[in-house]
Amino acid sequence: MEKFDRLSGAVCRLSENSGRHPPVTYIPPMNRQKQHGFTLYELLITLLVVGIVLTLGIPNLSDFTRNGRITATANDLHSSFMVARSEAARAKTNVTICASSDPMGAALCNGASFEEGWIVFVDGDGDIERADVGPDIEYLLRRHAPVHENITINTNGANFFSFAANGLGRGAIGPNTPIVSAMICDERGIAVAGGGSSAARRLVVTPVGRSVVVRDNDLIAGSGDAC
């Protein structure tokens, strides 16, 4: 069987079976989409890395939280002393800071410990007791809510400090002895924390009314004060 090629002018010989089969229809290949995701091996490696990070990071995060809590409490108490001193000198009157069992309510000087909270008030009559009613009411300058349940504040039984009109400490008022120092601790006690400083804080108040927060571990351990 012969076939004439019009373009080349040549005669092509075809086999006997060339015209018996119908032309095959061309079917284009399917458009395959690329698959995205993780293999099981990659997933296991990721979980392993996350586990190591959590194992190393959670204890440090816990210490960071406790250090921040202790520091905040010490700074709050320290700033209350500074407010009381500066206000006494400015207003030329007695100003007292004392522990209060209900600092956010009646705000009286009836607290056994600064852990319950404290208040700063204008102590006009100098009796280290706040009058909250009547014509001689003694006004609040600052109040602080109870501290966190894991924090203790040990002042060796003292629950007040009073500043005179010149901004200096008034010392003992009758049989009542003022605060000399306050140990602020949590469940770690005076153990060494990160950075070599103590886990506790010690607020020192001089007789003239100057206050400072100590965090050096050697100084706190050598003070003899306990949590």
124 in a structural domain: yes
148 in a structural domain: yes
What is the distance between the alpha carbons of residues 130 and 136, in angstroms, rounded to a whole number?
10
Domain count of the fold of the chain: 1
26 in a structural domain: no
**102 in Cβ contact with 224 (< 8 Å):** no
Contacts of 111 (CB under 8 A, 6+ apart): 98, 99, 100, 101, 103, 117, 118, 159
What is the distance between the alpha carbons of residues 26 and 19, in angstroms, rounded to a whole number?
18
**Residue 187: CATH number of its domain:** 3.55.40.10
What is the distance between the alpha carbons of residues 124 and 98, in angstroms, rounded to a whole number?
15
Q: Which residues pair with 96 in a beta bridge?
A: 121, 162
20 in a structural domain: no
Structural domain boundaries enclosing 120: 51-223
Q: Which residues in the chain come in under a pLDDT of 50?
A: 4
What is the distance between the alpha carbons of residues 97 and 77, in angstroms, rounded to a whole number?
10
36 in a structural domain: no
pLDDT tens, 124-162?
999 999 998 888 899 999 999 999 999 999 998 899 999
What is the distance between the alpha carbons of residues 227 and 214, in angstroms, rounded to a whole number?
14
pTM exceeds cut of 0.85: no
69 in a structural domain: yes
Question: Which tokens in the block code for residue 26?
Answer: 């061309």
42 in a structural domain: no
What is the distance between the alpha carbons of residues 121 and 97, in angstroms, rounded to a whole number?
7
23 in a structural domain: no
pLDDT for 48 equals: 85
State what percent of residues in the chain have pLDDT above 70. Answer: 81
Question: Which tokens in the block code for residue 219?
Answer: 């100084």
Contacts of 144 (CB under 8 A, 6+ apart): 76, 77, 80, 103, 117, 118, 119
pLDDT for 31 equals: 61
